[in-house]
């Protein structure tokens, strides 16, 4: 009997949809309770449209074997909660030395990186930028523009995800907010809880 050929994955550059994906995750406002800093602004957005999509992730994972790769697309809708731009939850890889790349296909944004001691770095995303996440960095993408931010990511299949490190610190050390004159700015997260060395 002939094997059924696996579809060759393909990205629709306009929408970010990855055909041939083995998994698809969607995060709506209701899934992101506690992620944004301004509780009142979040409550207003939630009351108006609890099922509004904030981001979608499509991925291809063939195995969890060391040496294998996971790749896929992240599609982050534009918008703000209060002054804070839409963003992904953010995570550290469970195997902390596992790195990642993000290739920006569409839109503008910021990749926010935080070391475990709390050092912040940013990489501005625009089409064509290839961003590298070094080992042991918490990372999140933020859409600072007016259209979808679409990135293609790739990381080791055995990396795993630690979301708790972000939750336990009440988020990341810095917030990416709309600047008064337009564009974006970093401000301190007032609720940030410093990790023990």
Q: How would DSSP label each residue in 41-99?
A: HHHHHHHH-TT-EEEEEEEEES---TT-EEEEEEEE---EETTEEPB---BB-SSTT--
What span, in angstroms and rounded, lies between the C-alpha atoms of 187 and 195? 19
Closest CB to Zn ion among residues 154, 186: 154
Q: How far is the CB of 139 from Zn ion (least distance, A)?
A: 6
Q: How far is the CB of 149 from Zn ion (least distance, A)?
A: 16
Q: How far is the CB of 92 from Zn ion (least distance, A)?
A: 8
Our finding on whether 59 is near Zn ion (CB under 5 A) is: no
Q: How far is the CB of 155 from Zn ion (least distance, A)?
A: 5
Our finding on whether 114 is near Zn ion (CB under 5 A) is: no
- Residue from 186, 155, 153, 151 nearest 172 by CA: 186
Map residue 185 onto helix, strand or coil: strand
What angle is formed at CA 76 by the lines to CA 12 and CA 34, rounded to 5 degrees?
A: 155
Closest CB to Zn ion among residues 35, 45: 35
Q: How far is the CB of 95 from Zn ion (least distance, A)?
A: 11
Q: Please list every residue from 115 through 174 that binds Zn ion, using CB under 5 A.
A: none
Nearest-CB residue for Zn ion: 100
Our finding on whether 100 is near Zn ion (CB under 5 A) is: yes
* Interface ranges with Zn ion (CB under 5 A): 100
């Amino acid at each position: 009997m002939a094997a059924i050929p696996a579809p060759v994955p393909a990205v629709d550059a306009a929408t970010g949809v990855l055909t041939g994906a083995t998994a698809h995750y969607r995060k709506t406002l209701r899934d992101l309770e506690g992620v944004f800093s301004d509780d009142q602004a979040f409550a207003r957005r939630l009351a108006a449209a609890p099922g509004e999509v904030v981001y979608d992730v499509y991925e291809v994972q063939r195995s969890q074997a060391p040496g294998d790769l996971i790749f896929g697309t992240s599609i982050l809708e534009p918008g703000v909660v209060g002054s804070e731009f839409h963003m992904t939850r953010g995570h550290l890889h469970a195997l902390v030395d596992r790195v990642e790349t993000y290739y920006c296909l569409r839109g503008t944004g910021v990749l926010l990186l935080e070391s475990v001691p709390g050092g912040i770095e940013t990489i501005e995303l625009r089409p064509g930028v290839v961003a590298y996440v070094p080992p042991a960095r918490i990372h999140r993408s933020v859409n600072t523009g007016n259209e979808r931010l679409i990135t293609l990511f790739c990381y080791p299949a055995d990396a795993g995800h630690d979301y708790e490190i972000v939750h336990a610190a009440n988020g990341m050390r810095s917030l990416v907010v709309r600047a008064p004159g337009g564009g974006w700015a970093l401000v301190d997260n007032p609720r940030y809880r410093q990790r023990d060395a």
